[in-house]
Structure 1
Amino acid sequence: MVKNLNQTISIAKHIVDGSITIDSISEFRSILRLFPDDPALHRVFADLLVRKKSLEAAIRSYSKAATLNIELGMMLQAIICKILEWRLKKPTRQRTQRFFRALRGGSFHDTALNVFITSLSFTEFTALVNQMVRVRLTAGKTVRKIGDQEADLYLIVTGNLKATTLLPLNGKQDEAQKSCVYLSENDFFGDIYPYDAEKISQTFVETITAAELVKISKVKLRRICKKHPNIELGLIDLLKARSEIGAEGLLRRVRKIDRHILPINIEMQIFPGKSGDNQIVLDGYTRDVSIGGMCIVLNAKYAHGPSMYQDIRNVQIRMSMPGDAMIVSVAGKIVWSKQVYAEDEKTVALGIQYKSMTPKLGGLLVVFADILYGSD
């Protein structure tokens, strides 16, 4: 059993980003028992099962990862998991329609990419997905250079990238200025429309971390748009909505800080009853604030068995900033609980998933915590 919570969280994070590899199915299952609702871990586990030729188990794991991604509002990630599942076993039309209905019925953030995908009919959706090509890259790899022909539309599944664009010279400048934008999951890039225009890239794109992309060639897009004109109309809207540097640009510059790991004091109100009455107030700290949630370590005086927290769903977390100058209150739900050791004392750790918080607001919470508690 892993006794140090920070070590456990770190191991899981490094398994997902590929810096730690577990080659044992049984060992990986023990990690999944700690993080049963982490779609990225289920996806990596499925990859391991494929390597081990355990294909039926891999199909189930990819399907589980897709379902969890839908529950977390991660549409593109869910689609990729299904693509991997379908490569192992060709789906029936009914199964594909069932997944499409699950996507349409999911609760997703109103990003340009999500709006585009949900605007498609079933036939249009399958035509687009069939043209997707996965690209996996390590950190520091060049995706596109200045001067390359714009031939593909890229969608970012995981990872962080940096796009550096040369700005046009004005009359008072001796050399070109550069604009840098950080891109992350669910962003997209590629100046591929109109299809008949030959465009040369003015942007240098490179990976900052390991990344997974989806690439769709301009040639294939033009072909399916001739058959499905609604896809072309959706692409036009998608490319018009391309994010610009501004308020969004500020967030993107700090998106590479995807979680804050220094301790933050918290007070947590839990609501055992359905009516919200009889609230219980606990305190502790967190060493892991991410865009989607946080891991809370309760003070040792609450070191009851973790099972008592499993049926509690509604929580309100109050994060106190230095000197109590500001209190940030966040609504969430408990998605897992585990007995851990912190500073040689037995206690309980709780995994909290935010409720009704967009990735942008979650990212701002991480940045805020990092500014106030960071070591720099």
Structure 2
Amino acid sequence: MKKNPGRQDSIVNRIIDGSVNIESEKEFENLLNIFPNEPSLHRALADLLVKNNSKEAADDAYEQSVELFIDTGRILPAVVSKILKWRIARPVDNEGRDFYARIHDCKSLDKPLNRFFTELSYQEFVSILLKMVPCRFPADTIIKRPGDIENYLYFVVSGAVSESSLPRANMSSESKGRHQVDLTESEFFGNIYPFEQEKVSHTQVKTITNVEVVKISKPDLIKICRKYSELGFKIDNLYTWRNESDEKGATQVIRKTVRHQLPTRVYMKVFEITAGGAPLQIEGFADDISSGGACVVIREQYRFGPPDVMVGKNVKLEVVLSNAAVHLTILGRIVWGKDIFLEGKKSVAVGVRFTEMTDNDRELLHDYCSGSEGEQNLIWSLWESMVK
């Protein structure tokens, strides 16, 4: 049965996966003024700092992303950020044990992989981290084909992949329809256990979006299990827990992970375009919105120059919440702009930092961004009915 991988085209997601390129530390600083608590932006900034050989600043940015990922129960991205931080400078033992304790105490056990990490011993945990290899793949890349030898266990860090198999002749007609599943953050693929069996892949795994995974090889896991005999049982449990996971619950979790990427209609009035001229009226939508600001996508027809021309302009936003019954009025300033392609069409994305709103609007916006699972599912249902 195919699961909905959530909207993967939000501006923040596109920045994180590299499909929207941020070329300077200053751009990241402007975006982090809007989304200071978005751990993936801190992680992306750290990656840029490493590229620019600013290792001390990168170390700090990775650590900031680790703390924010853990605070939101996102164990695997926290683990990967910590691995990349330790590539800059080897950890002292206390740092490793402190990190292990933070992961071990994490209460977000809604996914089998989270539960797996929290049940590892310290020695098992560190041994696995040391053998994990981060990899990135562009959209529409085949990672694994039917007939390949199963030699790796892959964990999805960001983005979405589709795992599909051809229906076999002995399948019932009902089973033949259930041959594809979409996997997102903290889900995994690779059928390598039990170790003593050499297995051939019966599925194809293909990226839907730009994707980051970490992989660990079967030989490396065998070596670790020989040293720590209990680990084999825990890997077996990981597969068992995944098989027992309720499909409906998994879909709800996917939607919950993108709660700050809710589709939101926005009307924006831009001031100071020309001396003495009337404000520019713009209609767009925000996939990424928080209490501090929003990324607003506007269509090409509203362009009046390069996106940089809009940076520094004061704006007045009318934000239409999902039921169209609540309109928020918020003052802000554009701090970032970028040309993008969305659904094959040229658009402009601008980052707006909120500067003023009423206490009532602030409370409504907070409730909207952090709404209950049921509310968010309703929002997605409304959005999906609009775009059909």
| Amino acid in the other structure paired with 1:54 | S
| C-alpha distance in structure 1 between counterparts of 2:84 and 2:215, whole Å | 15
- Tell which has more relative contact order, 1 or 2 (C-alpha 8 A, sep 6+): 2
Any residues of structure 2 matched to 1:24-39 within 5 Å, and which? 24-39=24-39
Conserved 8 A contact 1:144-1:206: yes
Alpha-carbon offset, residue 220 of structure 1 = 0.9
* Residue number in structure 2 paired with 1:44: 44
**SS state at 1:216 partner:** strand
Deviations 1:59-98 (Å, cap 9, x if unpaired)? 0000000000000110000000000000000000011111
| C-alpha distance in structure 2 between counterparts of 1:61 and 1:171, whole Å | 50
Alpha-carbon offset, residue 218 of structure 1 = 0.9
| C-alpha distance in structure 2 between counterparts of 1:257 and 1:94, whole Å | 31
| C-alpha distance in structure 1 between counterparts of 2:89 and 2:146, whole Å | 40
Conserved 8 A contact 1:340-1:347: no
Question: Are 1:193 and 2:186 an aligned pair?
Answer: no
* Residue number in structure 1 paired with 2:76: 76
**SS state at 2:87 partner:** helix
Q: TM-score, normalised by structure 2?
A: 0.69
**SS state at 1:166 partner:** coil
Conserved 8 A contact 1:164-1:205: yes
| C-alpha distance in structure 2 between counterparts of 1:183 and 1:85, whole Å | 26
Deviations 1:141-164 (Å, cap 9, x if unpaired)? 101001111111111110101111
Alpha-carbon offset, residue 192 of structure 1 = 0.5
Conserved 8 A contact 1:37-1:68: yes
Q: Which of 332, 352, 360 matches 1:339?
A: 332
| Amino acid in the other structure paired with 1:339 | G
Conserved 8 A contact 1:181-1:253: no
* Residue number in structure 2 paired with 1:127: 127
Alpha-carbon offset, residue 167 of structure 1 = 2.7
Alpha-carbon offset, residue 321 of structure 1 = 4.0
| C-alpha distance in structure 2 between counterparts of 1:119 and 1:186, whole Å | 16
Conserved 8 A contact 2:256-2:376: no
Conserved 8 A contact 1:296-1:352: no
Conserved 8 A contact 2:35-2:290: no
Conserved 8 A contact 1:160-1:183: yes
| Amino acid in the other structure paired with 1:76 | L
Structure-2 change in CA distance of 1:257 and 1:36 (3 Å): closer
Deviations 1:252-310 (Å, cap 9, x if unpaired)? 8986995441439xxxxxxxxxxxxxxxxxxxxx95577xx866989xxxxxxxxxxxx
| C-alpha distance in structure 2 between counterparts of 1:121 and 1:250, whole Å | 27
* Residue number in structure 2 paired with 1:306: none
| C-alpha distance in structure 1 between counterparts of 2:109 and 2:371, whole Å | 10
| C-alpha distance in structure 2 between counterparts of 1:227 and 1:236, whole Å | 17
| Structure 1, unpaired ranges of 5+ | 1-8, 265-285, 299-318, 325-336
Alpha-carbon offset, residue 246 of structure 1 = 6.8
* Residue number in structure 2 paired with 1:85: 85
Structure-2 change in CA distance of 1:72 and 1:34 (3 Å): same
Conserved 8 A contact 1:184-1:255: no
Q: TM-score, normalised by structure 1?
A: 0.71
**SS state at 2:110 partner:** coil
* Residue number in structure 1 paired with 2:304: none
| Amino acid in the other structure paired with 1:52 | N
Any residues of structure 2 matched to 1:260-279 within 5 Å, and which? 260-263=262-265
* Residue number in structure 2 paired with 1:368: 381
| Structure 2, unpaired ranges of 5+ | 1-8, 267-283, 295-320, 335-349
Structure-2 change in CA distance of 1:362 and 1:94 (3 Å): farther
RMSD: 3.9
Structure-2 change in CA distance of 1:147 and 1:42 (3 Å): same
Conserved 8 A contact 2:34-2:292: no
Any residues of structure 2 matched to 1:108-119 within 5 Å, and which? 108-119=108-119
Conserved 8 A contact 1:182-1:255: no
Conserved 8 A contact 2:133-2:216: yes
| C-alpha distance in structure 1 between counterparts of 2:109 and 2:191, whole Å | 24
* Residue number in structure 1 paired with 2:308: none
Conserved 8 A contact 1:262-1:287: yes
* Residue number in structure 1 paired with 2:54: 54
Deviations 1:184-219 (Å, cap 9, x if unpaired)? 001111110111111111101100001110111111
Conserved 8 A contact 2:33-2:292: no
**SS state at 1:212 partner:** strand
Conserved 8 A contact 1:254-1:367: no
